[in-house]
Each structure stands twice: as structure tokens, then as C-alpha cells.
């Protein structure tokens, strides 16, 4: 039933896999306002964000949830969203799932909501989610999942990538690559400061970019 689908997703997988290696398995944060000195060959983050036109708010898209029902990514009103794009064939994606489970468990009560967006075959996602025990909602799509990726205006991307929003669903941070605990702490703190009114999303990106750049880069 799926020969054409397999070809399409294989092409997507190859492109995304290339993106992961192109950007490096060692994670980095992409923000709108601070260059990352440790990555001299790359364009400064401020320039990247301007060129790629990161949207101000979480783009709306609808995919099938675990129950097979269509659900909008904006279903979680009033929550600070952590939207993680991933696939079952992506090793860094699989590695960061326990951390995402932990974030949901420890910070859900304060208003953070992790949602995984799996760009993959539905049956593969359902099987893997059951095996590993994913404890947060999932939305699943193949071509429609890739269409959702394009709504972020970032061009061709590898997986995983994650966006953090405040409780008004304004985009605060965009992270390409696997998230590690020290990075998660910085990014969650930035969102908290936006929620409290202490910082605007743009100011929070500046602060978070500086703090992320100062973290040790020994996380391969």
C-alpha cells in the first residue's frame, strides 16, 4: 500500500539526515539576535533568523493525534509550548525523548506542554511510542508533517528541531539539534521570563543565546 509513500519519505529522510549532519549532531541553538562565536563558519544567528523569517507566533497546523483524530497544534491554549519535530529513524531524536518526558513530568504543572510532531509513517510512530513510553501528546504526519515544517520559514531542516513558545504561543526560541539538560534549563528559564513580563520574546532570545553560547560544547 505504501510504495510511493516510502519513496517520498525516503527522500525526506535523506534530506533531513543530510541536514542533521550538515548542522552537526552536536546541538546548537538558533536565535534571532546573537551570533554564536563557537561556530565561526556559520552565519550569525541574527542574520539567519532575518533571512529565514521565523514567525512571531506558533504557526497553526493540524495533524492526526495518537487516536487518529485531527488535532491543531494550537489546542493547548494558555500553555508554554515545547514543540519537538522528530522521526523514528533519527538517532538524536530518539536520544532526547527521555529528557522531553522529564520536562513534561517536572514542568507540566507550571504550564509547560511538550508536543511531539512525528514526520514519519503512522504505524512506525505508534509502535515506537509504545515501546519507549512517550508521555506527552503526539501529532503524526507524512507529507502533511513536512508541510507543517515549512510553516516555520526555516528552509530545509534536519531533525530534531524544537520550538519554545510563551503562554500566548509567541515563539521565544528555535533549537536545531538534540537538546541536552543544561540547554533545556536555559531555554525554560527564558520562557519563564517572557511569561512573567520580565523580557520580551526578542530580549529572551538575546539572553538565552548568550547563555547557551557559554555552555560547554562537549555534548556529542
State the pLDDT at residue 152: 87
Residues 6+ apart with CB under 8 A from 127: none
220 within some domain: no
Q: CA of 13: how far to CAs of 42, 63, 86, in Å?
A: 23, 19, 11
Answer positive or negative: Cα dihedral of 66, 67, 72, 74. negative
Please state the domain count of the chain: 1
15 within some domain: yes
For residues 213, 90, 15, 37, the Cα torsion angle rounded to the nearest 10 degrees is 10
Between CA 88 and CA 30 the distance in angstroms is 23
Least confident of 30-44, 94-108, 109-123, 159-173: 30-44
| Of 116, 61, 110, 119, residue with least CA distance to 89 | 119
Per-residue pLDDT band at 153 (split at 50, 70, 90):
confident
State the pLDDT at residue 54: 78
Domain range enclosing 142? 3-213
Q: Is the pLDDT of residue 30 over 90?
A: no
218 within some domain: no
When pLDDT is averaged across residues 147-171 and rounded to a whole number, the result is: 89
Q: What is the pLDDT of residues 41-78, one digit of tens each?
A: 333 333 333 334 679 999 999 999 999 999 999 999 99
Q: Is the pLDDT of residue 29 over 70?
A: no
Q: Is the pLDDT of residue 6 over 70?
A: no
Q: Is the pLDDT of residue 163 over 80?
A: yes
- What is the chain's mean pLDDT, rounded? 81
Is residue 43 within 8 A of residue 189, CB to CB? The reply is: no
Q: What is the pLDDT of residues 116-140, one digit of tens each?
A: 999 999 999 999 999 999 999 999 9
Supply the CATH number for residue 45's domain. Answer: 3.40.30.10
31 within some domain: yes
Reported pTM: 0.78
62 within some domain: yes
Amino acid at each position: 500500500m505504501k510504495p510511493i509513500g516510502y519513496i517520498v519519505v525516503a527522500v525526506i529522510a535523506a534530506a533531513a539526515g543530510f541536514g542533521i549532519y550538515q548542522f552537526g549532531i552536536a546541538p546548537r541553538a538558533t536565535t534571532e539576535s546573537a551570533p554564536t562565536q563557537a561556530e565561526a563558519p556559520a552565519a550569525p544567528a541574527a542574520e539567519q533568523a532575518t533571512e529565514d523569517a521565523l514567525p512571531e507566533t506558533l504557526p497553526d497546523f493540524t495533524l492526526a493525534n495518537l487516536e487518529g483524530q485531527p488535532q491543531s497544534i494550537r489546542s493547548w491554549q494558555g500553555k508554554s509550548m515545547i514543540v519537538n519535530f522528530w522521526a523514528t529513524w533519527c538517532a538524536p531524536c530518539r536520544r532526547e525523548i527521555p529528557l522531553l518526558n522529564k520536562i513534561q513530568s517536572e514542568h507540566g504543572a507550571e504550564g509547560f506542554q511538550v508536543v511531539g510532531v512525528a514526520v514519519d509513517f503512522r504505524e512506525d510512530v505508534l509502535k515506537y511510542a509504545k515501546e519507549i513510553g512517550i508521555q506527552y501528546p503526539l501529532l503524526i504526519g507524512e507529507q502533511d508533517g513536512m508541510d507543517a515544517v515549512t510553516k516555520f520559514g526555516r528552509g530545509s531542516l534536519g531533525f530534531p528541531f524544537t520550538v519554545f513558545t510563551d503562554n500566548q504561543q509567541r515563539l521565544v526560541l528555535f533549537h536545531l539539534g538534540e537538546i541536552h539538560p543544561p540547554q533545556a534549563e536555559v531555554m525554560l528559564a527564558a520562557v519563564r521570563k517572557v511569561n512573567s513580563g520580565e523580557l520580551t520574546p526578542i530580549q529572551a532570545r538575546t539572553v538565552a543565546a548568550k547563555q547557551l553560547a557559554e555552555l560547554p560544547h562537549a555534548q556529542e
